[in-house]
Chains A and B, each alone.
Chain A
Amino acid sequence: MESVASFALLLAFVLTLYAFAASVLGAMRRKELLQYSSYRATAAVCALVTVAIGCLAYALLTDDFRIAYVAGHSNRALPWYYKITALWSGQEGSLLFWSWLLSAYGMLAVWLNREKHRAMMPYVVATLAFVQGFFLTLNVFIANPFQLFAMNVGGQMVVRGPLDGNGLNPLLQYPAMAIHPPLLYLGYVGFTVPFAFALATLLTQQAGEKWLVTTRRWTMVAWLFLTMGVILGARWAYAVLGWGGYWGWDPVENASLMPWLTGTAFLHSVMMQEKRGMMKVWNMVLIFSTFLLCIFGTFLTRSGVVSSVHAFAQSAIGPFFVTFLGISILFCGWLILERLDYLKSHQQLDSLVSRESSFLFNNLLLLAACFSVLWGTLFPVISEAVQGVKISVGAPFFNKVNIPIGLLLLFLTGVGPLFAWRKSSLGSLRRNFLMPGIVSLAIGAALFALGVRQLYPQISFILCAFVALTVFMEFYRGARVIRQKSGGSLLVAAVTLTQRNTRRYGGYIVHFGIVLMFIGFTGTAFNTTHEQEMRVGDQMEIGRYRLKLLELTETDNPNYGSAHAVLALYQGEKQLSVLRPERRLYKASRQPTTEVAIRPRLNEDIYIVYAGMSEEGGAVITAHINPLVNWIWIGGLIVVLGTIVALFPSRPGAGTIRGKGRTVVLEEQTEANHKDEVLAQENA
C-alpha cells in the first residue's frame, strides 16, 4: 500500500510539473489543446494526492506501524476519529494534507472558471501548479509520510514496525481539534486561489474588473474558513490548555491572525476598486501579502524558528520555505512594478468625509495591527541576531500595542458604514451619528456608575454599543421602507432587505458579530482567579461563589488514566452544579494533561482546573471566573453566518411579500438603474 501511495505522490509531482509547463506553453503559443491538457493534469493531480492521503488514513485506521508516521502519531487504543486527526498532527502528514487541499482547490477553481476566464486560466493553472509543485517536492523528497520502519533483526535490517505506536499528542485529543486544523488549512490554502487569479490578471493585463468578483468570492471563502479556524483554535486553547484564557499571542496563533488581518483589509479595499476603480496597486499588494503570510505562517509552525507550544510538527524544512517565500516575494514585487501602467487608476476623492476615506484608515489600522503582530513575533529572533541576547515578547506587549489599534478599528467599524460613497453631508452625519453617540455615551456613564472604571473596558463597551446601534439603524431604516411598500412584519422586511444586497447586509451582520466578540474580549479585564490546596470537605471562596471539594476519584481506560476532583458549586446556600475537572495521563505518550470543567453562562464562565496534587497530599484547585467570555463564541458564529449571507448572490428583485409589491419593486429597480446611468454620465 505504501508503494502505491508513494508512486501516486511521485506521479502527482511529475504531472504538476507537466501542468505548469503545458499551461505556460499553451498560453504563450495559444495552443488550446495544451491548455486543456494542463487542466486535466490538475484534476489528475487531485485524484493522485487523494489516493496518497487515503492510503495514509487507511494505514492510521488499521494501525500499520510499519509506517514511521503512523507509529509516531497514533496507537492502538486511540479512538478511530482521533486516528483520522493524526493525519495532520505531524510534519509529513500535515504537509500532505496541505497538498491535498490545494489540489482540490485547484481542480475546483479550474472547473468553475475555465470558460468564464479563458484568457487567464492558463496562468491561474501555472501559479497553482507552481505552489502545488513546491508542496509535492516536500511530500516526495523531504518529508515523505510513507517512510517505513527498519529494524535490526539478527544483524539484518528488515521492515518491521513496533507493536504499538507513540500515540497522538494528548493536547490534540479534543473534539474541536478534530476540525480546527482542517478549517485553518482550508483558509490558508484557499488564499492560493485569489493569489493565482491576481497574478494571472497582472500577467495577462485583463480589461475590466470581472476577475475581481471571482477573486473576491474566493477570498471570502478562504477568509470564512480562516475565521472559523482561528475561533475554533481559541476555543480549543480555552478548553484544553487550562490557563483560563483563549489567546496567548503564541507565534503560531499570531501566524493565523496575520493573513486574517490582511485578508480583511483586502475584503474592504476591494470595494473601492469595484465601486470607484481605485486602489488597484494596493489591492494587488494585499492579496499577495495575504498569500505570502499564509506560507510564512506555515513556515513559522514547521521550522521551529520561534518556540511555540502549538508547533506540533517541526523539522529542518525551514530553508525550503524561505527559498519559496523569497522567490515569490521577488516575482510578485517585480510584476507589480512592471505592470504599474496597467494598474493606473482614476484616483479622485470628492470629499475627505466619505466612505473612501474610512476604508483607507480601516486598511491602515488593519495593516498596523498585522505589522505589530509580525514585529512582536519576530523580535526575539531579531534581537538575538542584533545583540546576541534573546528578548521575549509575550502577551503583555501584544496587548499594550494592539488594544488601542483594535479599539480604533472598532470605532471605524461603526463609523465607516455611516459615511456615504463620494461625500457625506453634514445633515446625514448628524442624523446617523447623534442618536447612537448619545445612547452609547449614556451606557458608558451607567457602566461608570456601576463601577467599571478602567479606561479600555469603558471605551470598548461604549464603542460596542455605538457600533451595534449603527448596525441596528441600518437594518431598521431599510426594513421600515420595505415594510411601507410591501407590508409584512419588520423582521420579514429585514430579511428581504438582506436578500436584496447580501454583501452589504451580510457585512453588517459580520460587524455585529465582531461587536459581540469585542464584548467577550473586554470581559477579560474583569477575570478573577483563585488557587487553593484542598482536601475533601474543604471550601474555597471565589467572587460570590463557593466551591466545596466532595471527592477525588480515579478512572482508567486503554487510552489514558484519569483523576477527577468532584466539586460542588454554591451561590449562598444554593447548590448550582457539580463540576469535575480532571487530570489525564496518556499511556502511549506518557504525557499528562488537564481537562478543565466549565460552567458556561452568558454573563460568566466558572472555569475550574485540577492543577495536581501538592506534596502535602492536597488537591491544587485553580478557579477562574471569566465574565462575558461566551460572547466571543456567539459573536464568532454570527461572523460566520454573516459571511455565508454575503457569499450568496443578491436578489435585487426580492421583496414580493404575499404576491404584493412586485411591480413596485421592479419599477424601483428600473429607476435605480436609470439613476446610476445618469450618475455615471455625470462622472464621465
Chain B
Amino acid sequence: MTYRFKYLSFIIMLVLIFPKITFSETLTASQILSRVDESLFPDGLIMEVKMINHESDKREKEFIYEVKAIKEVGTLLLFKSPASEIGKKFLLKDRNIWMAIPGVSNPIRLSIRQNFMNSSFSNNDLMDTEYNDDYIPVLDDIIKIEGKDYYRIICKAKNPKVTYNKIIMIIGKDNFIPRKIEYYTRSGKLLKTLTLLDIKQLAGRPRPTKMVMRNQMEKDVYTTVIIESMEEKKNLPESIFTLDSLRK
C-alpha cells in the first residue's frame, strides 16, 4: 500500500512539474496534425494577405487579397490589388474551386491542382491547410534543429484526388507550428518546399506570418505569402461561401 502510494505521488509530481513533456510525449501523429491546423489558422477568420511572386529575372509581382474562411465550410478570396485583378474572387468548398472574374458571366469551376495566380502555390496549398482531412499522418522521428525539438511527421494521401501524394512536415514540439513542409509527387520526387517564418501574435496566439514556397523544378522562382492582418471571426455567415456570393 505504501509502495503504491509513493509511486502514485511520484507520477502526480511529474505531471505537475513537467506537464508539457508528459502530454506531448503521448500525442499521436494525428493529434499533432490537429494542433498544426489550430496553430496556423483559427476556425473562422478574416485576413489580409500579400503575395509576392519572385520571377527568375529578379522581378516581383505583388498581389493583395482578403481571405474569409470557416473551417469545414469554405474559403473565399477577394482580390484588392493590383488594379488588373480587382474584383477577382476564388471560392473553395470541399475539393472544388470556383473562380469569378469581373466581366465573365458565370463563375468557372476549376481543378484544385492548378497554379494559383501563376505562383508556386497550387490553389489547394493556399486554401486548404487542414492536413488531417486529406492525409494519414505517421510520427517518423523527433529531431533537434538549432537546439529545439521538432516532430518529423510523414503524411500519406488518403485519396488520389489530393494535390500531393506525400507530405513531410517538421513541426515545433513546443508550439506545433511547422518549420518546413515538403511536398512529394506520386513517384516520390520532391516537388515543393514551404518554409514558415516570422512567428508573431495573430488572432490570439503565436502564428507564422510569412510563408515561402519554392518549386524544386525552378530554383530561382518562388512565392512569398505575408499575412498582414488576421482576425478570428466565428460568426461569418455560411452564405458567403456559396456560388451565389461569387455572382454578386
A binds B: no
Partner-A contacts on B (CB < 8 A): none
